[in-house]
A and B are shown apart, each in its own frame.
Chain A
Amino acid sequence: MKCEICHSAEAERAIMKKAKGQPDQELYVCAGCAIEAKLAEHDEELGSLKKTAEKLAKKPPAPPQEPDALPELVGMIIDATLEIINHALPSQEPACPQCGVTRTEYRKASRLGCAVCYETFAKELTGLIADMHRTPKHDGKAPKKPVPSKEVQKLMRQLSAAERARRMEDADTLRAAIRSLGWRPDAPGGDAG
């Protein structure tokens, strides 16, 4: 697939493009455009990135008898710069709080990183799982004492607090949130049995 910004190079990564008053847009772009997009968004980081790139460029060049040295060096600079961008700038992609997997990563590997990923990506996984399995609702064995995740436990505590304080609207929101993570808000311990 071609880059959605320059339409010439091959796209190799996804970025989120922000525009005022519009929902974020996901674009598949080439490495060069990815750098430009990031740089444009984070002008203040530009200086330090340039410096690093210059520093890298000043490294003693490879022996001239190697014809591939120059493109290799350019590649190194781009790689290093991308590395720095990825580390220095907050990623716009949501990542799993327990294992750090991002959507791009799990899609690429078609494997999730941990149990919490199923909550982090619950919304999109619901569709995927429905496509994959004919009946996307579990039937069968359950652990003797199922333990919900920390997030679900927290929501359940908040729910009982809201119920005690008769904050009905909050309680409804919390129930929906618990349900969206696959647990029943009314059952003790959240176990749907």
Chain B
Amino acid sequence: MKWFPQKGPQRCSVARIPEEDIAMGCRVRLARNLREHVFPDRATARQRAVVLSKVMRVIQKEDPAFSRLTLDDLPETERLLVYETRLISKELSERDSGAGIVMAQDASVSAMINEEDHLRIQGFAPHMDIEAAWRKADALDTTFDAYLQYAWTPRWGYLTACPSNLGTGMRVSVMFHLIGLRMTGDLEAAIRGLERMRLLVRGIYGEGSESSGQIFQISNMDTLGMDEAAILTRIRRICEELVRQERNARARAICNSPLAVEDTLARALCLLKNVLLLPSGEAMELLSALRFGVSVGLVTKLTVKKIDQLMLTIQPAHLQREVDKTLTPEQRDEFRAVLLKRQLSKATLRKIAQ
């Protein structure tokens, strides 16, 4: 693949960075609608309630172990909590009535009800195991198909509220930590390359969200004309290439500017251990730097997994759940600083071997 600017050979060697440290997780989403029901945006509250109960009944019968949640009953803070875990979209969390979610116990597969489409089935898998995520979403879709009459035509496949999702209705997304490319200044070029290959590049919370902590969600633009297997193969190839590029960029950053890298890590750790007020955006940036440090062996007594957990814990609703009360923004920043200071007290820096 020639979409990425190739740089000269690196001058030092860096231990191989595990793929898992770069590809953080993935999801396969299938958009489905019922043939004889008006799409959620256009539907009345009553019409949405009918679809919601139809879907709930299928799950009750087929997978009684699934949890079934109607968002109407959920207080604002709990909606936000579910949103921060990325189980539901912003759009669903803001739907005034008829929104729901059904979810497997381990949360590896779920379906949003009455989002933009009647059903948004989602399979999740760790790192970039997109095939596993697809198998989960596919199985739940097949379950629904036995009971519900989907809107589908041979020409345009599954019919969706927005014509951009037609066909397979499938959106495969993989979350990447691209801090190395940012450090070497190649991030913009990489993103342009991905977009030229008709991939969507978004921030951590999907559509309309900004990147935070150099974490990007990458997904296929085309849903029509290519079958599921072909979409998966294409995305996998591109993701593997992106991992390779990010891995090289991290090594290049360390070899070409070791002092700058050490300084970045020292600053991040120093701030995290000492500041008194920490807004979530800044916290994400600092944790992002540490995440990189751990992956290349320059930060010890800390794991990538632990950082990923912290990145979720410091989101506003999760933070409030920790203390079990509503906090003002300043109290949140204060509590975030205290929490991270405590959690990162053991983390230690290591010098780059010359």
A residues in contact (CB < 8 Å) with B: 98-101, 109-115, 118, 125, 128-129, 132-144, 146-149, 181-184, 190-193
B149 / chain A contacts, CB cutoff of 8 Å: 143, 147
List, sorted by A's number, 29 A–B pairs whose CB atoms are closer than 8 Å: A99-B39, A100-B42, A101-B42, A111-B39, A112-B161, A113-B39, A114-B42, A118-B153, A118-B156, A129-B156, A129-B224, A133-B222, A133-B223, A136-B224, A136-B225, A138-B154, A138-B156, A138-B167, A139-B230, A140-B167, A140-B228, A141-B157, A142-B157, A144-B145, A144-B146, A146-B150, A181-B153, A183-B153, A192-B154
When chains A and B are docked, how far (Å) is the Cα of A22 from the Cα of B236?
Answer: 55
Q: Is the interface of B mostly helix, strand, loop or mixed?
A: loop
Contact-residue bracket for chain B: 35 or more
Out of A114, A128, A143, which one reaches B152, CB within 8 Å? A143
Does the CB pair A110–B162 fall under 8 Å?
yes
For the complex, is B305 an interface residue (Cβ under 8 Å from A)? no
Q: Which of A100, A111, A146 has the most CB of B within 10 A?
A: A111
For the complex, is B57 an interface residue (Cβ under 8 Å from A)? no
For the complex, is B155 an interface residue (Cβ under 8 Å from A)? yes
For the complex, is B87 an interface residue (Cβ under 8 Å from A)? no
* Minimum CB–CB distance for A36 against chain B, Å: 31
* Minimum CB–CB distance for A103 against chain B, Å: 14
* Minimum CB–CB distance for B155 against chain A, Å: 3
Instruction: From B30-38, B247-255, B286-294, B317-325, give the one contacting chain A.
Output: B30-38
Does the CB pair A113–B224 fall under 8 Å?
no
A190 / chain B contacts, CB cutoff of 8 Å: 154
A128 / chain B contacts, CB cutoff of 8 Å: 163
Does the CB pair B157–A98 fall under 8 Å?
no
Out of A112, A125, A140, A182, which one reaches B226, CB within 8 Å? A140
B230 / chain A contacts, CB cutoff of 8 Å: 139
A148 / chain B contacts, CB cutoff of 8 Å: 153
Does the CB pair B41–A109 fall under 8 Å?
yes
* Minimum CB–CB distance for A150 against chain B, Å: 8
A110 / chain B contacts, CB cutoff of 8 Å: 162
Give 1 or 0 for each of B76-105: 1 = CB within 8 Å of chain A CB: 000000000000000000000000000000
Does the CB pair B154–A184 fall under 8 Å?
yes
Does the CB pair B162–A140 fall under 8 Å?
no
- Which chain A residue lies CB-closest to B138? A141
- Which chain B residue lies CB-closest to A118? B159
For the complex, is B166 an interface residue (Cβ under 8 Å from A)? yes
Does the CB pair B155–A182 fall under 8 Å?
yes
Does the CB pair B38–A98 fall under 8 Å?
yes
B217 / chain A contacts, CB cutoff of 8 Å: none
Out of A129, A135, A138, which one reaches B163, CB within 8 Å? A129
For the complex, is B214 an interface residue (Cβ under 8 Å from A)? no
Does the CB pair A182–B156 fall under 8 Å?
yes
For the complex, is B227 an interface residue (Cβ under 8 Å from A)? yes
Does the CB pair A132–B164 fall under 8 Å?
yes
**CB-CB nearest 8 A-B residue pairs:** A135-B225, A192-B154, A182-B155, A138-B157, A115-B151, A140-B227, A182-B153, A113-B42
Does the CB pair B38–A113 fall under 8 Å?
yes
* Minimum CB–CB distance for B258 against chain A, Å: 45
B156 / chain A contacts, CB cutoff of 8 Å: 118, 129, 136, 138, 182
* Minimum CB–CB distance for B18 against chain A, Å: 33
* Minimum CB–CB distance for A97 against chain B, Å: 12
For the complex, is B333 an interface residue (Cβ under 8 Å from A)? no
* Minimum CB–CB distance for A75 against chain B, Å: 28
* Minimum CB–CB distance for B121 against chain A, Å: 12
